[in-house]
Amino acid sequence: MEKATREFFDKRGPVVVKNLRKHHFEAYYCATKAEALSQVLALMPAGSTVGWGGAISAAQVGVQEAVHAGDYKVIDRDQFSDPAEKLRCMRECFNADFFITGANAISLDGQMVNIDGNGNRVAAIVYGPRQVIVVAGMNKVEDTLEAAINRARTVAAPLNEQRFGHPNPCAATGSCADCKSETSICNQILITRHSRGHRIKFVLVGEDLGL
């Protein structure tokens, strides 16, 4: 990473953490992926049930690999090829002690934006798992809530569609068309602005992570 980008993230990160805490989120800034992994694991006691959804950034940090290797009860839909088993895991995550996810965007003033197709990820953020841990790179931070929503819709969603390959306009053009496709992955748009009881925890990472 370029020195200027590192310094930019290191200066901006504590500002976002301060503002997230004003919104009753528990929040931490870690300069590197290694520091972020240590912080995430420190939040989850041994023996906890852990699941995840939409967590590319966490995977890049090494969280899922560490959870599988650690003393945790793991809910991992990717271990199954059968759609029914995958759906069972997605539902089982609602009873997990910890649900790990990413963020499509975060506003500088401490609000999070996520877009979902199936809805399991945003549903778990809202209610169900006892605690939620959001792992996000500083590239997800935008100056305003409006800019964060725009990033989620016009950057994160088209990028994710390149992975999924549905017959949606953004898969072909790379640009949001505000489509009404049956296979749209932009079915729910969630703004999370407060967290009761510090249930939602952020581990921000001073690197480019996720989509």
Q: Is the pLDDT of residue 90 over 80?
A: yes
pLDDT score, position 83: 93
Task: Name the pTM for this structure.
Answer: 0.96
Bridge-partner residues for 201, per DSSP? 26, 133
Which whole number is the average pLDDT over 186-200?
97
Strands 200-205 and 131-137 turn out to be parallel
Query: What are 140-159's pLDDT values in tens digits?
Result: 999 999 999 999 999 999 99
Mean pLDDT of 88-93: 96
Q: Mind listing the pLDDT tens digit for each residue in 79-88?
A: 998 999 999 9
Which long-range contacts link 10-19 to residues 24+ away (Cβ below 8 Å)? 10/206, 12/108, 12/138, 12/141, 13/138, 13/204, 13/206, 15/108, 16/106, 16/108, 16/110, 16/138, 16/141, 16/204, 17/202, 17/204, 19/108, 19/109, 19/110
Give the mean model confidence (pLDDT) for residues 174-200. Answer: 95
Model confidence over 19-40: pLDDT tens digits?
999 999 999 999 999 999 999 9
